[in-house]
Amino acid sequence: MANNLQDSVQQPSFSYRELVDALVDRGYLVVDDFLSPELTKALRDEITELNRMGIERAGIGRGGALQVNDDIRSDKTQWIEGETSAQQQFLSQCDDLRSEINRHLFMGLHDYEAHFAVYEPGSFYQKHLDAFKGRSNRVLTNVIYLNEHWESEWGGELAVYDEADQLIERVLPKGGRAIFFLSERFPHEVLKTTKQRLSIAGWYRINSSTGSYIDPAR
Ligand code: OGA
Ligand code: MN
């Protein structure tokens, strides 16, 4: 990884306040330039290389119930474990945000997990919720886009719906852009893409472990 990444730690160009206010008012926010172009490129290069070496088809569900289902989603994913300086920088930027959100909103966000996702041409992810009330510890989703450039004719937009299932936003997956939304409230889908589409999907989680039940590591 290029060393200059270490020296050029960038703050997101939006204010924490903007995110906090949007979460209170609307429950979601789209921001451009959430990641610097340098970090976006470094992460794009990494996922491109990981994909070249071969990464896994994404599954639905967790643990024993994990299954690959072609009808629901056709992306490939790789968990981000902080193995490179770009990944560390990404995780620390998202974790700084976690502290700020907790400070202002008392959401009790406990940790953050994220994976790279590759949607090859023809791939999609059908309309879904990331969390069901009381059944998941995922409370806030963010999705960060890594393609340098995207055109609307290429498909692959993220369609976001409200609680009444009305379309509220079609987000072009343009490099550096991010969307944040409350995981239980917004059904969303990745429309079929005609170009390779690179992104990171992440979740801020509360700790819902109890004495007899330990939250899975992810
Ligand atoms: C997901 C997801 C959206 C996107 O991985 O759960 O909804 O735009 N991703 O990649
Ligand atoms: Mn989702």
**pLDDT the model gives residue 135:** 75
DSSP 8-state assignment for residue 121:
T
| CB of 125 closer than 6 angstroms to any ligand 1 atom | yes
| CB of 75 closer than 6 angstroms to any ligand 1 atom | no
What digits encode the pLDDT tens for the residues 109-160? 999 999 999 999 999 999 999 998 777 799 999 999 999 999 999 999 999 9
Higher pLDDT, 33 or 197: 197
Our mutation pick for probing the ligand 1 site, out of 77, 113, 127, 141, counting the most ligand atoms within 8 A of Cβ, is 141
171: three-class secondary structure by DSSP: strand
Q: Using CA positions, which residue lies closest to atom 2 of ligand 1? A: 201
Q: Of 103-117, 158-172, 197-211, which gets the smallest average pLDDT?
A: 197-211
| CB of 188 closer than 6 angstroms to any ligand 1 atom | yes
| CB of 143 closer than 6 angstroms to any ligand 1 atom | yes
What digits encode the pLDDT tens for the residues 25-78? 999 999 998 999 999 999 999 999 999 998 877 766 655 555 666 788 889 999
**pLDDT the model gives residue 127:** 97
Q: Using CA positions, which residue lies closest to atom 9 of ligand 1? A: 201
Q: Using CA positions, which residue lies closest to atom 8 of ligand 1? A: 158
Q: Is the pLDDT of residue 7 over 50?
A: no
Q: How far is CA 4 from CA 7, 85, 128, 162, 198, in A?
A: 5, 10, 39, 41, 23
What digits encode the pLDDT tens for the residues 151-169? 999 999 999 999 999 999 9
200: three-class secondary structure by DSSP: strand
Ligand 1 atom nearest the C-alpha of 77 is: 5
**pLDDT the model gives residue 153:** 98
**Which domains, from first to last, does the chain contain?**
2-205 (2.60.120.620)
Give the residue-averaged pLDDT of 8-25.
77
**pLDDT the model gives residue 67:** 60
